[in-house]
């Protein structure tokens, strides 16, 4: 990483317990090449969890080796699952069978992973007679858990925690659960998945209805492992039947479209760029980023579309183009909520004013992503207004180098790094190593694509 490219210099420098990325851009570079992005984080989590619950062996190819899935693997190993050494080629999971997770001898640590904590809570709630304590890092301990605690308590769960049971650390005593029909006030795959996973341990049918469809990886994978899952697109509902026999499966994890999003935007806004991203998951509940970039008239093409173990996959070609401003909101938000930080960067280079709305969920992610993106891009000279539920971004702007901070949020780190490539003057991105949560090789890949 310390070797500068001929036209642009990227240098990671130690900074206490973190790393600072110094970006020294120039006007004569572009991004070119073929890239395979890391495995899908959502699918990686779920393959480990369901493999741990299933009878027999599950094999997983293409697992994301980021910090979050590692937290999931460590938690389920502590509860009796036998998981081989993690790698992206092939790992195996020997499951314990539904309802047979062991009471751990220590506190379960979800690290920075909200997915690990919230989905795991659904599974722990029904482990009758067993006691669990779950916690996470500073960021995760500040994030709201009541959105999961409330429906689980409706099913009979016994959960105690800080701030009226809304903040970790949380203590859970496994209890016999009853099935419910939960009307979720928000479209959240984590909430939906936690309730459906708890429903595996409840007699009868458990249903979750959302105001808009959230990503459906849990439903797809539950079916693959043998559960009975019904989907009603009209009512935006998903139903699982309790106490199925889950059987170990072969899982091939596609590339994460949320990771691909950084390259899609980077190639679209940097003149002369052209990238081919291979084996990317294009699950329709996750392709809001493609729809948003289509509204912005980005030059993107899907190639070699196919299905891999129940998930749609494609290769994606993106070329530099002149973007146009658009409005992003409504039902599109749940399908691109993780991509809004990098879409904010794209909007800086679009003709006109882009308005992002209905995205208040970003305020309770690893950071307040609306506030952080507004302040950090503002340091670079961007004309960006923070709204209660979104951002208003003026396009056609020139950015200047600045002192930036990721706030230890992986998506903020990568979004600001892409923005810094386009700035005039040196930028220093503090705590850039946060990117390793979901994309450990991001900065190495970026260096390799510079032409």
Q: Which of 40, 68, 315, 338 is catalytic?
A: 338
Start-end of H helices in 270-360: 288-295, 340-347
If 0-12 CB within 10 Å is exposed, 13-18 middle and 19+ buried, where does residue 139 land?
Answer: middle
Strand partners, 355: 327, 392
The distance between the two most distant Cα atoms of the chain, rounded to a whole number of Å, is: 64
Quickly tell me which residue has 């395979």 as its tokens.
36
Coil, helix or strand at residue 450: strand
In the block, residue with structure tokens 């990483």 = 1
CB atoms within 10 A of CB 119: 28
Asked about 338 being catalytic, the answer comes back as yes
* Separation between Cα atoms, residue 72 and residue 108, nearest integer Å: 9
Helices (H), 104-231: 114-124, 138-141, 146-154, 162-165, 189-199, 217-225
Please list, in sequence order, all residues whose beta carbon lies within 8 angstroms of the beta carbon of residue 102, skipping any fewer than 6 positions away: 79, 80, 96, 130
Q: Which residues pair with 132 in a beta bridge?
A: 172
Cβ-based burial of 14 (10 A; exposed 0-12, middle 13-18, buried ≥19): exposed
State the Cα–Cα distance between residues 104 and 148, nearest whole angstrom: 22
Provide the token pair at 1. Answer: 């990483």
- Residues annotated as part of the active site: 338
């Amino acid at each position: 990483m310390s070797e500068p490219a001929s036209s642009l210099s990227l240098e990671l420098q130690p900074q206490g317990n973190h790393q600072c990325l110094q970006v020294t851009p120039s006007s004569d570079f572009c991004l070119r090449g073929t890239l395979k992005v890391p495995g899908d984080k959502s699918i990686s989590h779920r393959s480990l969890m369901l493999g741990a619950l299933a009878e027999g062996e599950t094999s997983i190819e293409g697992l994301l080796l980021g910090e979050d899935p590692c937290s999931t693997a460590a938690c389920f190993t502590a509860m009796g699952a036998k998981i081989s050494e993690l790698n992206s080629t092939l790992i195996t999971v020997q499951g314990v069978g539904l309802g047979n997770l062991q009471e751990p001898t220590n506190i379960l640590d979800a690290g920075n992973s909200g997915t690990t904590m919230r989905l795991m809570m659904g599974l722990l709630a029904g482990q009758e007679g067993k006691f669990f304590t779950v916690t996470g890092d500073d960021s995760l301990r500040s994030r709201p858990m009541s959105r999961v605690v409330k429906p689980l308590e409706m099913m009979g769960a016994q959960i105690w925690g800080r701030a009226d049971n809304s903040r970790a650390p949380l203590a859970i005593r496994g209890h016999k659960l009853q099935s419910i029909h939960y009307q979720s006030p928000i479209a959240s795959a984590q909430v939906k998945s936690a309730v459906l996973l708890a429903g595996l341990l409840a007699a009868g049918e458990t249903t979750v209805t959302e105001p808009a469809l959230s990503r459906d990886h849990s439903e797809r994978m539950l079916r693959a492992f043998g559960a009975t899952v019904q989907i009603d697109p009209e009512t935006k509902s998903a139903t699982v039947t309790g106490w199925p026999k889950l059987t170990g499966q072969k899982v091939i994890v596609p590339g994460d479209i949320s990771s691909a999003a950084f390259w899609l935007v980077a190639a679209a806004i940097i003149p002369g760029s052209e990238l081919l991203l291979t084996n990317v998951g294009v699950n329709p509940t996750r392709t809001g980023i493609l729809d948003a970039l289509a509204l912005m008239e980005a030059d993107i093409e899907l190639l070699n579309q196919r299905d891999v173990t129940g998930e749609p996959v494609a290769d994606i070609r993106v070329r530099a183009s002149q973007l146009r401003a658009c409005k992003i909101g409504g039902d599109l938000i749940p399908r691109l909520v993780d991509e809004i930080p990098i879409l904010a960067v794209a909007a800086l280079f679009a003709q006109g004013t882009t308005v992002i709305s209905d995205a208040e969920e970003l305020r309770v992610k690893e950071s307040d992503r609306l506030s952080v993106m507004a302040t950090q891009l503002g340091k670079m000279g961007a004309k960006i207004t923070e709204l209660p539920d979104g951002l208003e971004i003026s396009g056609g702007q020139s950015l200047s180098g600045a002192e930036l901070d990721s706030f230890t949020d992986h998506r903020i780190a990568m979004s600001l790094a892409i923005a810094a490539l386009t700035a005039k003057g040196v930028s220093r991105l503090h705590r850039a190593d946060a990117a390793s949560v979901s994309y450990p090789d991001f900065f190495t890949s970026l260096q390799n694509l510079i032409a």
